[in-house]
Amino acid sequence: MSNPAQGFKKLHVEVFRRSAAHAEMVSPQWRVTLATTSEKPVGAPNPPLTLLGALAACTLSSIRRGAQANGVQIDDAKVVVDATRAPTPEPHFQDIKVHLTIFSPEPEERLMPVLEAVKSNGTVTNTLKKATDLTLTYEIVNRRNSLTAQAGQAPNT
């Protein structure tokens, strides 16, 4: 691999066919089993579900980084991703909807910078935004008052 340009980070994965229906993604630190069929995958997510799972994990990573950068307490978070997949001959995601629930004792205005981080700081999120209609909605559950803040749409999505 060549040296990445200043500020750029090279990523590398290797995936090996393990059977007609499964593959294994490996690195020195981990192994992940993937299904290689969209027809009723067994025991592992298929490629479209893997991509949606990566989007959810990217969202959670952005929440963590945004909370740390802004000194905001996040007790928990949940990401639900729904997508519409266009059929063959050229299957693709027509749209992707991400719904984020943040559990925090913080007031909503303190959480806005975290939502901004979610909207703009994730590699998977940014890549998919360029390829399809991606929307993010959120809900804040205030654990201090045990009330649910009004659900809304993330800023500028």
Q: What is the pLDDT of residues 7-17, one digit of tens each?
A: 888 888 899 99
User: Which pTM does this prediction carry?
Assistant: 0.84
SS (H, E, C) the chain: CCCCCCCCCCCCCEEEECCCCEEEEECCCCEEEEECCCCCCCCCCCHHHHHHHHHHHHHHHHHHHHHHHHCCCCCEEEEEEEEEEECCCCCEEEEEEEEEEEEECCCHHHHHHHHHHHHHCCHHHHHHHHHCEEEEEEEEEECCCCEECCCEECCCC
Q: Which of 41-55, 59-73, 139-153 has the highest mean pLDDT?
A: 59-73
